[in-house]
């Protein structure tokens, strides 16, 4: 299991537009990824409803995780997206 703990960089948290950006990036990663609040149960990071259901706020810590063999790079990219509150995930990240 590979994990990344990251603080949500979007001021509004993982709601509406930021959640959509994150879910698209998680789906595009090609590996199964879960997301959870630091003290919560993990949910599918590729599910818009699941991500919205977390209610993660800006400045709150979340945990990204995957059991896939090639998950390191994907989790690094997703962590950067969340931490920096990016509008999209650059191809060069």
Catalytic residues: 15
Q: How many CB atoms lie within 10 A of CB 13?
A: 20
Q: What is the 3-state secondary structure (H, E, C) of 19-45?
A: HHHHHHHHHHCCCCCEEEECCCCCEEC
**Residue whose structure tokens are 């259901």:** 53
3-state secondary structure of 76: helix
């Amino acid at each position: 299991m590979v994990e990344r703990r990251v603080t949500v960089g979007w001021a509004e948290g993982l709601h509406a537009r930021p959640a959509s950006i994150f879910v698209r990036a998680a789906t595009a990663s090609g590996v199964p990824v879960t997301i959870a609040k630091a003290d919560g149960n993990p949910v599918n990071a590729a599910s818009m409803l699941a991500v919205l259901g977390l209610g993660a706020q800006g400045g709150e810590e979340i945990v990204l995780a995957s059991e896939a063999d090639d998950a390191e790079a994907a989790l690094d990219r997703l962590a950067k997206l969340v931490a920096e509150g990016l509008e999209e995930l650059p191809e060069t990240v």
